[in-house]
Structure 1
Amino acid sequence: MKRLFADTLLTRSILIVVAALIIAQLLAVVAFKLIAQNVFIAMQEKAQVEAALEIVTLASAQPDAAAFSEAAEAQANVVFVRQDDRSLARADDGVGADVQSQWAASGRDAGQIVSFNVSRGHSGPPMNFPGFPPGPGSATPSDARPPPAPGMGPSEKGEFRKLPPPGEEGRLPFGFGRGENNGRFPSRLMNVSVEYPGGQWVNVLMTAGADRGPPIQPFIFVLSISLLAVAIAAGFAARWIYRPLEELARASSALGRGEKHTPLPVSGPRDLRKVMQAFNTMATRLEGTLQSQKDVLVAIGHDLRTPLTALRIRAAMIEDDAEREKMERALDELQSLTEAALQAGTSSLRTDEKLLTDIGALVESLSEDLQDIGQPVTFTDSADRMVVRAWPEDLTRALRNIMMNAIRYGERARVQLEERGNECAIIIDDDGPGIPEAQMQAVFEPLVRLEKSRNTETGGHGLGLHISRNIILAHGGRIELSNRPEGGCRATVILPRSEV
Structure 2
Amino acid sequence: MKLLPDSIRTRTILVLLIGLTVSHLASMVVYSTDREQALATANEQRQADRLAVLAQVIDTTTESLRPEVAEAISGQTLHIVWDRKGAVPDSHQEDERRAVIAASLRPHFGVLDDSRLHVFVISPPGPAASPLSSTLHLLHHAPIDQRLQVSLELKDGSWIHFHLSVAETAGTWSRQALVSTLVMLLGTLVIAVWATRWITAPLASFAHAAERLGMDVSAQPLAEDGPQEVRAAARAFNQMQRRIRSFVEDRLQMLAAVSHDLRTPITRLRLRTEQLPIETEQQDKMLRDLDEMEQMVSSSMAFAKDEATDEPSQPFDLAALIGSICDDLTDAGLDADFDWSGRLVYRGRPLAMKRLFSNLIENAVRYGQCARVRAVSLPGRIKVVVEDQGPGIPEDQLEAVFKPFYRLESSRNKRTGGLGLGLSNVRTIARAHGGDVRLANRPEGGLSAVVSLPSNSEERQES
Q: TM-score range by the shorter chain?
A: 0.7 to 0.9
Distance 1:330 1:177, change over 3 A: closer
Q: SS at the partner of 1:205?
A: strand
1:8 to 2:7 alignment: yes
1:434 to 2:435 alignment: no
Letter in 1 for 2:9: L
Task: Report what 2:137 is aligned to.
Answer: none
Task: Structure 2: state its 5+ residue gaps.
Answer: 128-140, 459-463
Task: Report what 2:291 is aligned to.
Answer: 332
Q: Is the 8 A contact 1:414 1:429 kept in 2?
A: yes
RMSD, aligned α-carbons:
3.8
Offset of residue 243 of structure 1: 1.7
1:271 to 229, 246, 265: 229
Offset of residue 488 of structure 1: 0.7
The farther-off stretch of 246-255 and 410-419 is 410-419
Q: Distance in 1 between matches of 2:367 and 2:260?
A: 33
Q: Distance in 2 between matches of 1:253 and 1:203?
A: 86
Offset of residue 83 of structure 1: 1.3
Task: Report what 1:419 is aligned to.
Answer: 377
1:44 to 2:2 alignment: no
Q: Is the 8 A contact 1:259 1:354 kept in 2?
A: no
Q: How does 1:66-85 map to 2 (within 5 A)?
A: 72-73=70-71, 75=73, 78-85=78-85
Q: How does 1:178-193 map to 2 (within 5 A)?
A: 182=145, 186=146, 189-193=147-151
Q: Distance in 2 between matches of 1:227 and 1:136?
A: 42
The farther-off stretch of 222-231 and 85-94 is 85-94
Q: Distance in 2 between matches of 1:111 and 1:11?
A: 67
2:436 to 472, 478, 482: 478
Q: Is the 8 A contact 1:17 1:234 kept in 2?
A: yes
Q: Is the 8 A contact 2:9 2:197 kept in 1?
A: yes
Q: Distance in 2 between matches of 1:331 and 1:477?
A: 37
Q: SS at the partner of 1:459?
A: coil
Q: SS at the partner of 1:193?
A: strand
Q: Distance in 1 between matches of 2:371 and 2:126?
A: 97
Q: Distance in 2 between matches of 1:23 and 1:96?
A: 35
Q: Distance in 2 between matches of 1:448 and 1:113?
A: 110
Q: SS at the partner of 1:452?
A: coil
Q: Distance in 2 between matches of 1:196 and 1:27?
A: 48
Q: Distance in 1 between matches of 2:229 and 2:354?
A: 43
Letter in 1 for 2:452: I
Task: Report what 1:62 is aligned to.
Answer: 60
Q: Is the 8 A contact 2:256 2:304 kept in 1?
A: no
Q: SS at the partner of 1:458?
A: coil
Q: CA-to-partner distance for each residue in 1:119-177, whole Å, 9 max, x for gaps? A: 2435xx96xxxxxxxx879xxxxxxxxxxxxxxxxxxxxxxxxxxxxxxxxxxxxx954
Distance 1:356 1:285, change over 3 A: farther
Q: Distance in 2 between matches of 1:216 and 1:423?
A: 54
Distance 1:176 1:234, change over 3 A: closer
Offset of residue 414 of structure 1: 2.2
Indicate the percent of aligned positions where both proteins have the same amino acid. Answer: 29
Which structure is higher in helix share?
2
Letter in 1 for 2:368: G
Letter in 2 for 1:271: E
Task: Report what 1:465 is aligned to.
Answer: 423
Offset of residue 44 of structure 1: 3.4
1:380 to 339, 356, 370: 339
Q: Is the 8 A contact 2:377 2:383 kept in 1?
A: yes
The higher radius of gyration belongs to: 1
Offset of residue 38 of structure 1: 4.0
Letter in 1 for 2:295: S
Q: Distance in 2 between matches of 1:403 and 1:111?
A: 113
Distance 1:40 1:229, change over 3 A: same
Offset of residue 479 of structure 1: 0.8
Q: SS at the partner of 1:219?
A: helix
Letter in 1 for 2:327: E
1:195 to 2:153 alignment: yes
Q: Is the 8 A contact 1:476 1:496 kept in 2?
A: yes
Q: Distance in 1 between matches of 2:61 and 2:110?
A: 11
Task: Report what 2:450 is aligned to.
Answer: 492
1:403 to 2:361 alignment: yes
Q: How does 1:350-389 map to 2 (within 5 A)?
A: 353-389=312-348
The farther-off stretch of 216-225 and 29-38 is 29-38
Q: Distance in 2 between matches of 1:114 and 1:314?
A: 135
Letter in 2 for 1:242: T
Distance 1:282 1:136, change over 3 A: closer
1:121 to 2:121 alignment: yes
The farther-off stretch of 370-379 and 407-416 is 370-379
Letter in 2 for 1:409: Y
Instruction: Please report the TM-score for the alignment, with normalisation by the length of structure 2.
Output: 0.79
Q: Distance in 1 between matches of 2:26 and 2:377?
A: 53
Task: Report what 2:103 is aligned to.
Answer: 102
Q: SS at the partner of 1:494?
A: strand
Q: Is the 8 A contact 2:407 2:417 kept in 1?
A: yes
Q: How does 1:208-287 map to 2 (within 5 A)?
A: 216-258=174-216, 260-287=218-245
Offset of residue 17 of structure 1: 2.9
Distance 1:271 1:315, change over 3 A: same
Task: Report what 1:141 is aligned to.
Answer: none
Q: Is the 8 A contact 2:92 2:120 kept in 1?
A: no
Distance 1:381 1:328, change over 3 A: farther
Q: Is the 8 A contact 1:367 1:378 kept in 2?
A: yes
Q: SS at the partner of 2:344?
A: coil
Offset of residue 492 of structure 1: 0.9
Task: Structure 1: state its 5+ residue gaps.
Answer: 127-134, 138-174
Distance 1:16 1:343, change over 3 A: farther
Q: Distance in 2 between matches of 1:176 and 1:470?
A: 74
Q: Distance in 2 between matches of 1:82 and 1:458?
A: 125
Task: Report what 1:153 is aligned to.
Answer: none
Offset of residue 338 of structure 1: 1.8
Distance 1:112 1:240, change over 3 A: closer
Q: Is the 8 A contact 1:10 1:238 kept in 2?
A: yes
Q: CA-to-partner distance for each residue in 1:362-390, whole Å, 9 max, x for gaps? A: 22222333344444333333544231312
Instruction: Please report the TM-score for the alignment, with normalisation by the length of structure 1.
Output: 0.74
Distance 1:318 1:483, change over 3 A: same
